[in-house]
Amino acid sequence: MAVRGCSATKNFDISAIFTRDGTLKPVKSVLSVIKLKNTRCRGSYKGRRLSIMKNLLKQLIATAPTEENGELNTANVLADYFKAHGIDAETDCWDEKRANVVAKVGSDDINAPTLVFGVHLDVVPASADTWETNPFEPVEKDGYMYGRGSVDMQGGICAAAAALVEIANSDVPPNGRVIFAAAAGEETDSCGVRRFVEQYKDKIVNPIGTVIPEPTGMEILRAHRGILWLKIQTAGKTAHGSMPHLGINAIEKMNALLNRLKDFQIPHTPHDLLGGCSMSLNRIIGGSATNIVPESCAIELDIRTLPGQSHEEIINSLKAVCDELHAEDSEFNANISIIRAVGALEAEENDSFIQSVCQATGIIETKAAGFTTDGPYFAKLNAPVIIFGPGDGSQCHKPNEHLELDQLGIAKEYYKSIISAMLT
């Protein structure tokens, strides 16, 4: 008997069989050979699938989709990958270099149950001076892929995209629809996801939920704090540095505000998963020259908010502090502006989508993220959002960022299980 390829066996009422070399072998011995061959074939199949994901990951890293470069080249690589595997993918381009990609598997009916995978195409910049390798020339070494974006979040992109390809080409198509939304600008202003939601909110009538494959070490996260970045600018009056009494020093006015902010607390109730709201003074800008009284000084605050907190109320409380200082000093004048605002995210632990994901993956415990995502925008599709993906989140935005490649296959299988559980 010659065993070739990955063939199935049938049941025969025999106790022995002739092999190809003419030797009579017990059936158990022959079946063990078939089992070994099939095991090797499965291993070879998995190896090919991992190789395809690794190649896609290398291509994505090499496109260097920073804010300066834009995401268009990355979008084209991803769209080509989907199209090469028989999946329709649309690239939405604007401002010459910004781009989203949307791919769909399953039903074309907008009323069909719809599961969304939401990813971001962009990465933060990287300086070659702080890396052991070129950050945008991917290096595979000792089971890891090194390169900017390997963890945040191109590894998650590859795993989710591969899961869609395998589902699309399986014998059991999804009983519904899977939408893969790859968005621009998550690291800066979330322009891509806002654009996607605006375009698709009326095209997703029956949403199930959204999976965001950000790096979580394959832990299921269902909450994160929001972002409120504020700029507070004090106004002064310029004068020659030798005659400061003729001017109003904006830096000195800012110093008064900084002293007041030392004891300032944002009213809030601590969250069971997320803890408290925080505020950090991370930047100060003031003055134009050593011999000029500064007419402007600005600080930038990073405030992390909790579910249910009002950004407007936080801003009003800071305005109240500035009003108090103006009442004490008529020359104190300040203006508050928003740099960036993203809401907090929370899905209830007993939500049916969360429970279904836990059952599909066998991961019972859910946690909270220490970072912020595009999740609050995807939540505007009126369905729960989870964050669940390959990679160590502590690698994000750091030199020598690297992804453990074994996690690609693990994540892909988890995503396939989630799709099957939701849409079969």
pLDDT at site 173: 85
Query: Which amino acid makes up residue 220?
Result: I
Indicate the CATH number for domain 227-342.
Answer: 3.30.70.360
Q: Is the pLDDT of residue 2 over 80?
A: no
User: Looking at the domain covering 62-224+345-422, what would its CATH class be?
Assistant: alpha beta
44 pLDDT tier (thresholds 50, 70, 90): low
Mean pLDDT on 327-336: 98
Mean pLDDT on 107-130: 96
pLDDT at site 224: 96
Whether the ω angle into residue 254 lies within 30 degrees of 0, i.e. cis, is: no
Q: Rounded CA gap, 5 and 142, in Å?
A: 30
Q: Which two tokens stand for residue 368?
A: 């909270």
Mean pLDDT on 31-52: 57
SS3 per-residue string spanning 240-282: ECCCHHHCECHHHHHHHHHHHHCCCCCCCCCECCCECCEEEEE
Q: Is the pLDDT of residue 134 over 50?
A: yes
Q: Is the pLDDT of residue 162 over 80?
A: yes
What residues does each domain of the chain span? Answer: 62-224+345-422, 227-342
Mean pLDDT on 185-191: 95
The model's pLDDT over 286-327, given as tens digits with 9 standing for 90+, comes to 999 999 999 999 999 999 999 999 999 999 999 999 999 999
Helix pair 155-168, 72-84: axis angle to 10 deg: 30
Burial (CB count <10 Å: 0-12, 13-18, 19+), residue 49: middle
The mean of the pLDDT values for the chain is 90
Among 19-33, 196-210, 296-310, 338-352, the range scoring the smallest mean pLDDT is 19-33
pLDDT at site 43: 54
Please, what is the end-to-end C-alpha distance for the chain in angstroms?
39
The model's pLDDT over 209-247, given as tens digits with 9 standing for 90+, comes to 999 999 999 999 999 999 999 999 999 999 999 999 999
Burial (CB count <10 Å: 0-12, 13-18, 19+), residue 305: buried
18 CB-near residues (< 8 Å, 6+ apart): 1, 24, 25
Mean pLDDT on 21-25: 43
Q: Is the pLDDT of residue 343 over 80?
A: yes
Burial (CB count <10 Å: 0-12, 13-18, 19+), residue 77: middle
pLDDT at site 34: 35
pLDDT at site 31: 37
Among 16-30, 104-118, 305-319, the range scoring the smallest mean pLDDT is 16-30
pLDDT at site 27: 41
Percent of the chain at pLDDT above 70? 89
26 pLDDT tier (thresholds 50, 70, 90): very low
Q: Is the pLDDT of residue 112 over 60?
A: yes
